[in-house]
Chains A and B, each alone.
Chain A
Amino acid sequence: MRKMFVVFKREYLERVRSKWFLVATILGPVFLGLITVLPIALASKTKSSDQLSNVIIIDATGSDLGSRVQQSLAATTPQAPVPQLRAVKAEHVAAAERRATTDVMGHEALGYMVLDANTTAGKEMRYAGRNATALIDVDNIERIVRQSLLAQRLEREGIDASRVAALTAVKLNAKTEKITDKGKEGASGIASFFFGYGIALVLYMMIAIYGQSIMRGVLEEKTTRVAEVVVSSVKPDTLLAGKILGSGLVAVTQVTAWLAMTFLMYQARGPILQKFGVPAIASASLKIPSVAPLVGVALLLFFVLGFILYAALFGAVGAMVSNQEDVQQAATPVMLLLITSLIFMQPILLNPSNTLAKVMSWMPFSAPLMMPLRMALIAIPWYEIVGALLSVAVGCWIAIWLSARIYRVGLLMYGKKPSMRELGRWIQRA
């Protein structure tokens, strides 16, 4: 126990003292803050192009639809040129499109749209232009054409033009809220989506970064041959345990620092967001989903167990090989286990209660990421959480048992990377 503490202390202090740790700890929340703030900043800032009206309208409807669209569009961006209206016969559309394409290529317009019989029928319109991939621009153009068409139809039915304008001016945004078994939660559905995503991603990052740093640490002890001096004083198992716990505490330290800084940034979110040009109302709507204490404990347990599981495996990989060239290759199976969870994150985010999600949140190697993710999205019965925790604990125990044996033999073994069969013999021999 005393010796494990000595190993633990060295591991912790040497890592915390490193420059990398300092940089990552400070830059982490800044980065996190940016990815939280940017979507909001973008959402409130994202206007359609200020040249939206600088387009060519090819009108083959033979009606006044073209000029209606022209007027509405011109109103959206008063400082930009007014749309050029080109009324053509249906059979000349192709030629008109060719000309319009040349104009766009020559920077005389941003794009062109085609209004024809299909448009009048309410089925489709076509738009081609430099901003054709800007969803918000296309969305706006669609909306304007739709409203113009609607106005045209209503007027034909004999409704007064000024009334039409008033009636069709509908701007509707959906404000979403999430309902769980416990009732409504204050935060929006999007927020808890990002929260779940964020937690799983942070867990993944911590496990991948610190797990691999243990692997490199073990390899360093091997390549510098300091391992033999150390194991003449302390048993390999104790050494491995001390290393895992030391690095684990470094990870916890880092996350705690991140949380503290994130909390401070959240408190000061108004002024910060204003710097990004986000109005106060939007920043008030940014809420961190509340985490119940028990959920917090479960999250911590998942993190600790998941970290130990992967750290033990990475430690064994570090002891298996003797040089930097082999280590990445040897780590591939462990990385694959971890990345599998990451790959399934997207489908599970979209559908957190299907069978795939359930299976993934019970497997020891994916549960530490998947269960917290699902817990953030939907309400999970307590017995599923406890069951998943037990499953991870069992997986953890097996990983430690295997790793300790590989570690014991591998630490003083130099030469080429062992094959699976040799590895099996190591496990037997230890």
Chain B
Amino acid sequence: MSEPAVRISNVTKRFDATVAVRDLSLVVPTGSVYGLLGPNGAGKTTTIRMMLDIIGPDSGTISIFGRPHLDPSVLDKIGYLPEERGLYKKMQVRRVLRFLAELKGVPPKEADKRINRWLDRLGLITDEKDWGNAKIDELSRGMQQKVQFIGTLVHEPDLVILDEPFSGLDPINSQALKDTVLELKRDGKTVIFSTHLMDNAERLCDSVCIIAHGEKVLDGEVAAVKESRGTRSVALSIDGDARDGVRGVLQDRRLVARADDQNRFFEIELATGADPQELLNRLIASGARIRRFELVSPSLHQIFLERVGAQGVELGMSGHA
């Protein structure tokens, strides 16, 4: 197997009194789509910035494609889309993109060719207008995001790092982004993205790492992570208004450890030793019309809530911030 795209070993980063990242280790396999998951303030952005050497770790090492991340040649292989996006407002689109491409070592002529291809592909060159010659601040927000995205990919990076890429995207652009991520994967590129939206992560990622309070909670391939939790979860859908009766059943702690109520859909984690058959009987007895009752692997969302929630409690009890 080839070198992992990113290997982070025992990295710690402090900002004055607070620890942003504590003893974090993770491996991103080359050619995978990797999700960095965690609540706001978990240390995702700090971790990403350390990979890009925007800030340096206090201790620990980071290597990218087998080379120390401080190696100047490494940066040119990475495409980065920061969470807070922005471009030079008064500059022409083409000039901004050429600048970003040249910073990554793409020769100007080659850059121009690629920029035109991208502008055309994303609909920024139309019959009536070539937006490439417009200034950034003449563009709509959606168009600016497209330009930013071109800027991330124009130098054809082997590793693409996207920080909260789905925030602020409408469903259409969101879908376009997912398609692009999969396309990058098909081309053998590695994609790392951070998000707190578990649904996106579960569908897109090959592997994930969940971090909270700067520490790793768990990591690994999505399938393996879910498998390790066993099939102690039930997916339940109901029809009609029998919600009160159902809720009564779900509050029985002998049967149900946790229930995630999404109105007409419940994700239920069974209590230890509970028999799903008994739960089903109780639900039928409560008068609910059941559309779906299925033993499933827990969703990432469920795992996330379970692990991060539990850790939050632990931290609260031990008195550490």
Contact = CB atoms under 8 A, between A and B. Distances in A.
Interface of A: 2-3, 6-7, 9-10, 13-14, 220-221, 223-226, 228-234, 412, 425
A226 B88 contact: yes
B91 A14 contact: yes
Nearest to A228: B82
Contact of A228 (B76, B84, B95, B102): B84
Contact of A232 (B16, B54, B89, B91): B54
Contacts of A231: 54
Nearest to B87: A226
Contacts of B100: 229-230, 233
Given A14-B91, A226-B86, A233 B104 contact: yes
A119 B148 CA distance: 85
Contacts of A221: 88
A18 to B, nearest CB: 8
Contact of A10 (B87, B99, B104): B99
A225 B49 CA distance: 14
Contacts of B86: 223-226, 229
Contacts of B52: 232
Contact of A233 (B55, B75, B87, B148): B75
Contacts of B115: none
Interface residues of B, number: 27
Contacts of A14: 88, 90-91, 95
B55 A412 contact: yes
B291 interface: no
B103 interface: yes
B85 interface: yes
B68 interface: no
B82 A224 contact: no
B166 interface: no
B151 A229 contact: yes
A11 to B, nearest CB: 10
A6 B84 contact: no
Contact of B78 (A13, A232, A425): A232
Given A232-B54, A425-B16, A225 B84 contact: yes
Nearest to B151: A229
B54 A6 contact: no
Given A232-B54, A233-B75, A412-B55, A225 B82 contact: yes
Contact of A6 (B55, B103, B148, B151): B103
Nearest to B91: A14
Contact of A3 (B55, B84, B103): B103
Contacts of B78: 232
A10 B108 CA distance: 13
B80 interface: yes
B142 interface: no
Given A2-B105, A14-B91, A224-B87, A232 B99 contact: no
B54 A230 contact: no
Per CB-CB distance, the 3 closest pairs between chain A and chain B, nearest first, are A225-B86, A224-B86, A233-B103
B136 to A, nearest CB: 9
A392 B80 CA distance: 40
A220 B76 CA distance: 24
Interface string B51-91: 01011000000000000000000011010101011111111
A220 B49 CA distance: 21
Interface string B22-52: 0000000000000000000000000001001
Contact of B103 (A228, A230, A412): A230
Nearest to B88: A226
B89 A229 contact: no
